[in-house]
Amino acid sequence: MIHSSNIRTLRTHIQQWKQQGKSIALVPTMGNLHKGHLALVDRAHQLADITVATVFVNPAQFDNPDDLNAYPRTLDSDARQLQERDCDLLFAPDTQVMYGDKPSPTRVEAGAISTQLEGESRPGHFSGVATIVSKLFNLTTPDMAIFGEKDYQQLLVIRQLVEDLNYDIQIIGHPTVREADGLAMSSRNGYLTTEERLAAPMLYSTLQWLKQQLRQGNNNHSELLTQAKNRLAEHGFKPDYIEIRRQKDLQHPNNNDQKLIILASAWLGKARLIDNLAFQTGDLD
Ligand code: PAF
């Protein structure tokens, strides 16, 4: 595996692969890799000749400096795991390489889908994501890029970015990888105490409970969401939002919408956990 932290080396390798007619899949990450990230790398491997992974803790997408400082940085172990997964190139630049020291560098403004849910709780977050993802697309010019569905709103923001800015890149969403007890894998799970870790799967089981209620024809969304928040609060969570939306655009559903998604974010101790559950109202499982 080639391990590069500078743009010139990255571009040289990308150019060589392009000249050889190889297809390139990009897996952007902020590091502290877990099985969820590695599943993205495996998917990239299946789909393209070359897998490029990036590790960069992007300051532009953090609305809280304490959160940015606390974010786990584990580059050596990340590089080892990527090497074991036969990743072809790891690009792990520092902030100076990505942003220089300009006081106010150009930013990409994310589209309409970014203003609610995560966007409302974390002002500027999706503009930071859209900016770094655009930069990584420009630097690596991949044929495709793989993102986890755990960050469902991010995935839609990136799909809109690609459409609106005319990137010729296929965006692939990969299903959330879960622990045996249902907790979605996340770098932020490391912030949980032993006791909180035991309570954490309640987030996903609350989403499953909600889905079951909706499937049984209980259509009183506001009552269901209040009950869901109460369930979470009883287990020590401080819910941020929990919402039932349409999968395609995250708007409130009407009676004819069948493809729905429940999205939630809740604090458990120092960890802000997010999760979602997509389903079709007619499905039987
Ligand atoms: O999902 C993430 O880890 C980040 O938001 C991403 C896409 C790597 C951009 O920094």
pLDDT digits over 215-232, tens only? 999 999 999 999 999 999
The greatest distance separating any two alpha carbons of the chain, rounded to the nearest whole angstrom, comes to 58
223 and 117 in one domain? no
Known catalytic residue: 37?
Answer: yes
Q: Please report how many Cα atoms fall inside a 13 Å half-sphere around the Cα of residue 240, on the Cβ side.
A: 19
The CATH number of whichever domain residue 223 belongs to comes to 3.30.1300.10
232 and 161 in one domain? no
The CA 279 to ligand 1 mean position distance, Å, reads: 24
Whether 49 maps to a domain, the answer reads yes
The CA 151 to ligand 1 mean position distance, Å, reads: 9
147 and 44 in one domain? yes
The CA 136 to ligand 1 mean position distance, Å, reads: 11
Average pLDDT over the chain reads 97
- Boundary-marking domain end, from 153, 174, 195: 174
Burial class (CB in 10 A: 0-12, 13-18, 19+), 216: exposed
146 and 30 in one domain? yes
- For residue 274 the two structure tokens come to 């997010």
- Best mutation site among 132, 135, 136 for ligand 1, i.e. most ligand atoms within 8 A of its Cβ? 132
- Best mutation site among 40, 151, 161, 189 for ligand 1, i.e. most ligand atoms within 8 A of its Cβ? 151
What does the pLDDT read at residue 45? Answer: 97
Alpha helices in 94-244, H assignment, sequence order: 95-99, 118-121, 125-140, 152-164, 194-199, 202-215, 221-234
147 and 15 in one domain? yes
150 and 246 in one domain? no
The CATH number of whichever domain residue 66 belongs to comes to 3.40.50.620
Instruction: Check if the beta carbon of residue 133 is closer than 8 Å to that of residue 125.
Output: no
For residues 196 and 268, what is the distance between their CA atoms, to the nearest angstrom? 7
pLDDT single digits (tens) 239-261: 999 999 999 999 999 989 999 99
How distant is the alpha carbon of residue 123 from its chain centre? 17
For residues 119 and 102, what is the distance between their CA atoms, to the nearest angstrom? 25
- For residue 16 the two structure tokens come to 């060589």
Instruction: Check if the beta carbon of residue 30 is closer than 8 Å to that of residue 57.
Output: yes
Q: How big, in percent rounded to 5, are the helix, strand and coil portions of the chain? A: 45, 20, 35
What's the pTM?
A: 0.97
* Residue 29 Cβ contacting ligand 1 at under 6 Å: yes
127 and 220 in one domain? no
Question: In terms of Cα–Cα distance, which of 192, 187, 189, 197 is closest to 78?
Answer: 187
Whether 182 maps to a domain, the answer reads no
Q: What's the angle, vertex CA 129, arms to CA 127 and CA 135, rounded to 5?
A: 100
- Boundary-marking domain end, from 174, 208, 233: 174
Per the structure, the complete domain to which residue 262 belongs is given by: 187-277
- Boundary-marking domain end, from 139, 174, 209: 174
Atom of ligand 1 nearest to the CA of 129: 9
pLDDT level of residue 234 (50, 70, 90 thresholds): very high
Map tokens 């969820």 to a residue: 36
CA distances from residue 47 to 18, 281, 285 in whole angstroms, order as listed: 16, 31, 29
264 and 126 in one domain? no
Whether 180 maps to a domain, the answer reads no
The CA 52 to ligand 1 mean position distance, Å, reads: 14
pLDDT level of residue 103 (50, 70, 90 thresholds): confident
Atom of ligand 1 nearest to the CA of 56: 10
- Best mutation site among 26, 29, 62, 78 for ligand 1, i.e. most ligand atoms within 8 A of its Cβ? 29
For residues 195 and 199, what is the distance between their CA atoms, to the nearest angstrom? 7
Atom 8 of ligand 1 has which residue's CA nearest to it?
29
209 and 75 in one domain? no
For residues 232 and 239, what is the distance between their CA atoms, to the nearest angstrom? 7
Rounded mean pLDDT, 74-98: 98
pLDDT single digits (tens) 173-197: 999 999 999 999 999 999 999 999 9
For residues 82 and 93, what is the distance between their CA atoms, to the nearest angstrom? 16
153 and 86 in one domain? yes
Whether 101 maps to a domain, the answer reads yes
Backbone angles phi, psi at 57, to 5 degrees: -80, 105
Whether 40 maps to a domain, the answer reads yes
Rounded mean pLDDT, 117-139: 98
* Residue 30 Cβ contacting ligand 1 at under 6 Å: yes
Whether 179 maps to a domain, the answer reads no
Q: Is 90 exceeded by the pLDDT of residue 284?
A: no
Domain count, the chain: 2
Instruction: Check if the beta carbon of residue 266 is closer than 8 Å to that of residue 244.
Output: no
The CA 126 to ligand 1 mean position distance, Å, reads: 10
Q: Is 70 exceeded by the pLDDT of residue 285?
A: no
* Residue 58 Cβ contacting ligand 1 at under 6 Å: yes
The Cβ of residue 100 has, within 10 Å, a number of other Cβ atoms equal to 8
